[in-house]
Amino acid sequence: MSYVDEVYSKTVEDNPGEYEFHQAVKEILDSLKLVIDSDEKKYRDASLLERLIEPERIISFRVPWVDDSGHLQINKGYRIQYNSAIGPYKGGLRFHSSVNLNLLKFLGFEQTFKNALTGLPIGGAKGGSNFDRKGKSEREIMAFCQSFMSELFKYIGDDLDIPAGDIGAGSREIGFLFGQYKRLAGLHCGALTGKGPSFGGSPIRTQATGYGLVYMLENMLRRHGKGLDGKVVVISGAGSVAVHTIEKIQQFGAKVVTLSDSNGYIYDRDGIRLDVVKQIKEVRRGRIKEYLDEVPTAVYEENKRIWNIPCHIALPCATQNELNLQDARTLAANGCIAVVEGANMPCNREATDFLLGSNLLFMPGKAANGGGVAVSTLEMRQNSMRMSWTFDEVDEQLHKIMAEIYEKTSDAAERYGVKGNFVAGANIAAFEKIADAMMSQGFV
């Protein structure tokens, strides 16, 4: 059995029932076969893949907080410090009822590769809780965040581990977490990113993932003789990634016709109205169904697949495994030319393989959504230099970073004889950097 296959079998055996984790490991290992098989002994002797797959440290803790009726609630809290070969641990905190160790291991593993691909000096991490802010009062959310940080603060720091947001953890939650961090650590430093601009945050962090996604998409289309102007776009999700993707892609002349949340999707054939979406999501913190109150000509569907809507470009920006093989086939049959992942691993393996075998352009999340963590790293840079950059200055750097990610991804694919396979390209380019750092640092 090849080294790669052996390590995969062992991963499944040692981590039973952790399907998303197996899925993420398999996708990456399959791409790495191209690299490992040519020099198997070197990697096997260093147990490099085993070390890459096993997180450096997993922290698991209890999060007690008091709800508005005076009852003590208990949530689970985690931080996975996955890999620090190329820099301090970096990655978001996900607060959602689905959070468990399996999910965070998949996300942390992916993050290690995504972060390496940005070209910036950051290792990989992920954390979070099974706490769900939906239906909670502002005070309850603050109480939870303060309790979560009371434990987490022991393990983070601006040169050690720098958490940020993810699903369920936006600028409000990061603000509460930072307030508590500052109080406990007695330091005002960049130990968290995604902070408000008035206390050390980057002016463009909220927009960064969505904007970066569109820069990547535009770049990829342009390299293939295509453009965004006049294209019809289907986007899933209604969080910060989806909203800022809509904002930027509209500036390029494309028309977004959908958005969705966990209850259903909105289809607006005239083009989604961003002002209405922002009002619902950012001001009222409501559900997207409320879009109909402002735009009665739109349609709201609860039990239908969003990917059945004909489009030129599909951008899954909601969550993992939201686009399956049937969806991918439907998109292709409807004339879709590009699928770019805004979420982490939103296309399942069968869909990914289908897309790679079709003539659609497909860009995986770890290349396409790296703009968020890249701007987080610029925020760290600003904090340690005690300075701030303007919106335009950071936007320009983001543009450049996304173009470089595209270059590295496409170049690695070409070097290994799989031109246009950006999944292999992204995994290989990231691996080359992490492997080099790990090999140089000895057996740790």
Query: Shortest distance, CB of residue 103 to ligand GLU, whole angstroms?
Result: 12
* Mask for 374-403, x = binds ligand GLU (CB under 6 A): --x---------------------------
Using CB under 6 A as the binding rule, whether residue 91 contacts ligand GLU is answered as yes
105 is in an annotated binding site: no
Nearer to ligand GLU, 81 or 344 (CB): 344
Query: Shortest distance, CB of residue 184 to ligand GLU, whole angstroms?
Result: 21
Name the catalytic one among 105, 126, 366, 408: 126
Nearer to ligand GLU, 312 or 366 (CB): 366
Active site residue 126: yes
202 is in an annotated binding site: no
Using CB under 6 A as the binding rule, whether residue 193 contacts ligand GLU is answered as yes
Using CB under 6 A as the binding rule, whether residue 108 contacts ligand GLU is answered as no
Question: According to the 3-state scheme, what is the secondary structure of the chain?
Answer: CCHHHHHHHHHHHHCCCCHHHHHHHHHHHHHHHHHHHHHHHHHHHCCHHHHHHCCCEEEEEEEEEECCCCCEEEEEEEEEEEECCCCCEEEEEEECCCCCHHHHHHHHHHHHHHHHHCCCCCCEEEEEECCCCCCCCHHHHHHHHHHHHHHHHHHCECCCEEEECECCECHHHHHHHHHHHHHHHCCCCCCCCCCCHHHCCCCCHHHHHHHHHHHHHHHHHHHCCCCCCCCEEEEECCCHHHHHHHHHHHHCCCEECEEECCCCEEECCCCCCHHHHHHHHHHCCCCHHHHHHHCCCCEEECCCCHHHCCCCEEEECCCCCCECHHHHHHHHHCCCCEEECCCCCCECHHHHHHHHHCCCEEECHHHHCCHHHHHHHHHHHHHHHCCCCCHHHHHHHHHHHHHHHHHHHHHHHHHCCCCCCHHHHHHHHHHHHHHHHHHHCCCC
* Mask for 330-349, x = binds ligand GLU (CB under 6 A): --------------x-----
Among 192, 373, 424, 435, which residue sits at the site for ligand GLU (rule: CB under 6 A)?
Answer: 373
209 is in an annotated binding site: yes
Using CB under 6 A as the binding rule, whether residue 421 contacts ligand GLU is answered as no
Among 90, 244, 248, 281, which residue sits at the site for ligand GLU (rule: CB under 6 A)?
Answer: 90
Nearer to ligand GLU, 164 or 338 (CB): 164
Using CB under 6 A as the binding rule, whether residue 83 contacts ligand GLU is answered as no
Using CB under 6 A as the binding rule, whether residue 316 contacts ligand GLU is answered as no
Among 77, 88, 92, 425, which residue sits at the site for ligand GLU (rule: CB under 6 A)?
Answer: 92
114 is in an annotated binding site: yes
Binding site feature residues: 90, 111, 114, 165, 209, 376
Binding site for ligand GLU (CB under 6 A): 90-92, 164, 166, 193, 344, 372-373, 376
Catalytic residues: 126
